[in-house]
Structure 1
Amino acid sequence: MGKKATTGESGLPDGRYMAKCRERNAIAAGMNGHSLVWPTAILRVANGIAIFERDGVKVWSCNAMYAATHFEIEDV
């Protein structure tokens, strides 16, 4: 695994990361609206927008601050 990503006031800097849900199971992730990301997904951040991908396909997006707050983010 990579090292934990550094966040700033605006969330994550542009780049590619691995995002891991903080929820312990798929049901909890679904209740929080994170089921498409659970348990992990590639995260691409550009211009403050966080795009979660699986197999190169966008599955979900949010702002970078939300991603930094609600997921464990590591550099890849």
Structure 2
Amino acid sequence: MTRKTITPLPRGQYWTTPHAPFALDGPNGHDEVFPGAHCVSDGKWVTFYKNGEEVWACNAMYAAAHFDVALLSSACASTAD
């Protein structure tokens, strides 16, 4: 069996969408991010925003493993909230 290598979410601004919830996840911040949110990563820590307000944060490895991400260009990052 081959394991997928996960690397921390690199520095940048992203649009994130949570992966489908897993029944045993419990409260883990995904509800705050659903259906999608703007996030900012410094390569170690990721902060999620909705309507300009911080709604959740996690480490960059967790974000890479549990969210689908799309890099935002600097032109649209300010309007992504």
| TM-score interval, smaller chain | 0.7 to 0.9
Larger strand share, 1 or 2:
1
SS at structure 2 position matched to 1:66: helix
Deviation at 1:31, TM superposition (A): 3.5
Tell me how large the CA RMSD over aligned residues is: 2.0
Aligned residues: 64
CA distance in 2, matches of 1:72, 1:22: 7
Which one of 61, 65, 80 corresponds to residue 65 of structure 1? 61
> What does the per-residue CA deviation read over 1:20-61, in whole Å, with 9 as the maximum and x for residues that have no partner?
01126xxx6x83521000010001002510000001110000
Q: 4+ residue stretches of structure 1 with deviation over 4 A? A: none
| Percent identical residues | 34
- Where structure 1 has 5 or more consecutive residues not aligned to the other structure, the ranges are 1-7
Answer with 1 or 2: which has the greater Rg: 2
Equivalent residue, structure 1, for 2:42 = 46
- Where structure 2 has 5 or more consecutive residues not aligned to the other structure, the ranges are 1-5, 73-81
SS at structure 2 position matched to 1:31: coil
